[in-house]
Amino acid sequence: MPQPFLHELVSCVHAPAVALSDRDGQIRPGGVQGVLLNDRRALSTLLVDVNGVEPTPVGHALHDAGTARFVGVARDLGDPGADSTVRVERERRAVPDGIEEDLTLVNAARTAVECTVRVRAGSDLAAMDDVRRGGRPGLAPLTAAGSGTCAWAGEDVRVTLLAADGDSADSGPGAGAGERTPVTYETDAEGHAVFAWRVRLPARTRWSTTLRLTVERVASAAGSADTVTATSAFLPAADGPGWSEVEVSGPAELVRLVDRSVEDLAALALADPMAPDDVFLAAGSPWFFTLFGRDSLWAARLTLPLGTDLARGTLHTLARRQGTRFDPDTAEAPGKILHEVRQDTLAVGGPGGLPPLYFGTIDATALWISLLHDAWRWGMPAAEVAELLDPLEAALGWLTGEADADGDGFLEYIDESGHGLANQGWKDSNDSIQFPDGTIADPSIALSEAQAYAHEAAIGGAALLEAFGRPGADRLRDWAEAMRERFRTTFWVSDRRGSFPAIALDGAKRPVGTATSNLGHLLGTGLLNPEESARVAARMAESDLDSGYGLRTMSADAAGFNPLGYHSGSVWPHDTAIGMLGLSRAGHHRVAASLAFGLLRTAPDFAYRLPELFAGTDAHAGDAVLAYPASCRPQAWSAAASVVMLTAALGLEPDVPGGTLRVAPAADFAEWWPLRVSGLRVAGHPLTVAVDATGRVEVQTSAPVKVETRNV
């Protein structure tokens, strides 16, 4: 069966739990709706009715990342006439081990109402992998039941739902008191648990009850639930990512996007069970409440202006699982940073599936090195950096050795297991690397951005080794320069719109000459000289790539272009943000601002919760913003795109080891001025930056750095 759609669902998130429902608050069987936790669907049905009739929905709102309020009306109750006088309100809160939900009946009528309120609940205990593939298992049997409780149990999980007695309270001046209503319990013919309350509600009063769903891990036949290993379930992060409260004063849409994004990022925070003080960001909801090398690294890197604690936790969590041996089945190699952690094997369409600890990624190791380097420049304490120097040297060893499998001087990948990922860059779908005529490139694949990441990592790694008194810096710089020259003579191609680096070299070392968003990942890495960067920036600004809503993953000119293709024409907010950041670092602020304005234009269409990806429709032609229906939301690196908008607009360039912080906003972002951002951090100290309507800059910080500002 096809993967279920997500775009119409309301999502309440508090990692590792998520509740997904229709917009009326009802959790209906089928699709992905339910409460999901630890790679299992704990609750698959939660339906409310009044006198056997579901409330008519009138609205819903997401209060924060984990809390939603749903309002409906009971049209058959209350005063006669067109006005609805009996409301049914639900407030759902995701918590790390399940959900809490308040169910309230509000009688605004002039007379009392009597009714029966029912809640019907069921669980299929489906594995996340089955849910994602569209499976529809039957209900799990109830293992315990009573007047206010029921439970379901699987091999490694126990799910308990508690329903409280109901209480009435005054709803207005002079209203009479209601009555306490005990909850009753029964099961229906399909095996659902059914809680019911017989409610008598006087005029102008309200009645309420509370539901609490708890999910507990239990010991399985395979061993103790308390045994901690590299693939153990990750923990809720007790204090989130450790950021200050971010406050933005500026365009209303930018303010709302940043507010929602920072809430979502905090809701995705998880902790390493091997060291619970180390926090990282899960990749996204609902499928990826786990550690992803690439995703977690990019999310931490893009949010460095909020502080370095998240970077430290991400770096340590990955370093504990760094490769130590050669294993073709898992793609592990000494020094390599992993791709993904799961508790069980993950099916990917072929036999075998991905092992729980999987290393099939060409870029995570370089990104780990660059995160460490960038965190150091943002002020990560020297003692914390020093703790990671041994993993750094191991990562650099893999990068400049085993990453080049055939010795041609480029990083390439090929799946040697027969059941791993065919593509091991961020565009990891089977059809993501295409020639302009739509032909799929054959492996092995040498991605353009993998070379850029490697070059940047070698230069950054050299700076770290040199600063901390370790050998090897000159060798790394020579390696990076040789990479730069090879890339210049091998990757460049052209089409009718201009010249640019190919997305990849195929197995025959032919450039795959399709223009793609990967171009943005090359900028600011040092791989390109200024003239080459200008050509890339110009190519990115062409309308086949810049949709007006963000950067398309593939040129609209390509034969394989599809605006709803996963990596063949859609827009990924994080991808656009990386391009935006690279453009800013390379000095191409006009193109960076165009991408930022276009991406912000889409935010209201997604209630300011940017999805994993959306359709690459044409804003220039007046096309509407369209959802990619199976897109995850919230997604960590998509939410982090809002922080990149601030970084680019303010022109933030830290060098704490060098004792400076440069703040140089570009006039191309002037439509966002005046702009003030507080809650940023540099070297562990608060940072506030303001740009007035004329481009004058004001910076407030107690950090031990010299602030260099440039007024526009």
Domains 10-217 and 235-627+634-674+681-691 share a fold: no
Question: What DSSP string describes 40-101?
Answer: EEEESEEEEEETTBPPEEEEEEEEETTEEEEEEE-TTSSSSSSS--EEEEEEEEEETTEEEE
Ranges of residues in the chain with a pLDDT under 50 are 173-176, 221-225, 349-350
Of the candidates 54, 359, 87, the residue with the CA atom closest to the CA atom of residue 208: 87
Of the candidates 77, 85, 27, the residue with the CA atom closest to the CA atom of residue 51: 77
Q: Which fold would CATH assign to domain 235-627+634-674+681-691?
A: Glycosyltransferase (1.50.10)
Residue with the two structure tokens 């850029």: 452
DSSP code of 311? H
pLDDT attached to residue 175: 40
Note the pTM of the prediction, 2 decimals.
0.95
CA distance readout (Å), 666 to 70, 577, 590, 640, 652 = 43, 17, 8, 21, 11
Report the C-alpha gap between 475 and 465 in whole angstroms.
Answer: 11
Q: Where are the domains of the chain?
A: 10-217, 235-627+634-674+681-691
pLDDT attached to residue 540: 99
pLDDT attached to residue 221: 46
Consecutive H or E run containing 707: strand 706-709
pLDDT attached to residue 347: 55
CATH number for the domain formed by residue range(s) 10-217 = 2.70.98.40
Report the C-alpha gap between 252 and 257 in whole angstroms.
Answer: 9
pLDDT attached to residue 352: 59
pLDDT attached to residue 176: 44
pLDDT attached to residue 136: 82
pLDDT attached to residue 219: 67
